[in-house]
Structure 1
Amino acid sequence: METNSMITVAMETEDEVPEPGQLSNDSATCIVSVKGLKDNWQKWSSEHQEYQKNNPFSHDSRLSVLVPQRGQDDYGRPLQGSRTEQRGKDAHTHISREVQELCEVIKTIGEPRDIIVTGSRNTGKVTSVTFGKLFEHYVTVSNKLVGILLRARKQGLVEFEGEMLWQRKDDHVVITLVQ
């Protein structure tokens, strides 16, 4: 018994439907309607045109969505409910967790001191650690220590001198946990 892998395509119009006996029984049969193909293509084309109307990077001059202008609340933000907005929220949550973890590590390995923290209003007990000691300990936790430190400083959780910290060069820099 021989199998034939040839696919027979029967093209039909609305009125012409092939009889079952007209097609070979020993070949795999795939009936494709020209009208069905045309309808599928038209549906895709309509959806794509609608998408392009909302796409700010499209060359379509008939944009149906008002693009936010500078100074408006939603300028530079993804559309609400979009996957881009969800990815941004997930990234923010992840970074916030890493900042909290960094603060816990500083509390654990740092030394409590009675000082006035420069640049802030906090006085009393604070926890401090040198960058070298923190780097040696934190390298097993994450490879993004400097970026997390910069984010924590931006949030007002830690203080240290300098714009950027470099391994070995800035090992003596004191990092102070403010809160």
Structure 2
Amino acid sequence: MGTNSQSTTIMGTQDDVPAPAQLNEDTAVCIVSVKGLKENWQKWSDERQEYQKHNPFSHDTRPSAVVPLKEHDDYGRPLQGSMTEQRGKDAHTHISREVQELCEVIRNIGEPRDSDAGGSSSDGKVIAVEFGKLFEHYVTISNKLVGILLRARKQRLVNFEGEMLWQGKDDHVVITLLQ
């Protein structure tokens, strides 16, 4: 019964809380924790409600919700300094490293060939490798070769024929390193 009366006292009003001399160590920690939890929850709740007022996709249909305009530079971008923005920057850095690593692998296993009209080399030679050979070598490095190749082509670092490369079917497609 003694435990129940203490818990009733803790849940009561501030006036009902006994003096610190009457509390044991566990009870005092419990009061601070519950009060801290309540304050933290209220703070989070207030911040979330304020955020939802400005979120155009929430069900909160207050006229204060600002709808982003497509003409603005930040349209479709995460808020400056947000965790989402940081994750995007980290992902971009990671993918850029993988593209550079792919170019290095092509330099190492590729063969010099005469450049077609699109080559960037001044002596008319470019480094090229067949997709099948690159796939066999690169499979030990990463399982995302085709996606990285597409990204590298978008950045104009490599060139190859076709929209997509398929293992087996496109093994003889030549991939040319442009830079």
The TM-score by the shorter chain falls in which range? 0.7 to 0.9
Q: What's the counterpart of residue 75 of structure 2?
A: 75
Give 1:122's aligned amino acid. S
Give 2:162's aligned amino acid. G
Give 1:149's aligned amino acid. L
The separation in 1 between residues aligned to 2:175 and 2:57, in whole angstroms, is 45
| Conservation of the 8 A alpha-carbon contact between 2:130 and 2:171 | yes
Q: What's the counterpart of residue 116 of structure 1?
A: 116
1:13-162 aligned within 5 A: 13-18=13-18, 29=27, 32=31, 40=39, 42-62=42-62, 64=64, 66-117=66-117, 120=118, 122=120, 124-162=124-162
TM-score (norm 1): 0.79
Query: Following TM superposition, by how much is the alpha carbon of 1:64 offset from its aligned partner in structure 2, in angstroms?
Result: 4.7
The separation in 2 between residues aligned to 1:18 and 1:110, in whole angstroms, is 80
Give CA deviations for 1:23-57 in whole Å, capped at 9, x if unaligned.
Answer: 8x8xx646659xx59x7365454333223223333
Q: 1:64 to 1:79 in 2, by over 3 A?
A: farther
TM-score (norm 2): 0.79
| Conservation of the 8 A alpha-carbon contact between 1:56 and 1:63 | no
Of 103-112 and 12-21, more deviation after overlay is shown by: 12-21
CA RMSD of aligned residues (A): 3.1
The SS at the match of 1:122 is coil
| Conservation of the 8 A alpha-carbon contact between 2:131 and 2:171 | yes
Q: 1:90 to 1:22 in 2, by over 3 A?
A: closer
- Aligned residue pairs total 169
Q: 1:175 to 1:53 in 2, by over 3 A?
A: same
- The structure with the greater share of residues assigned to strand is 1
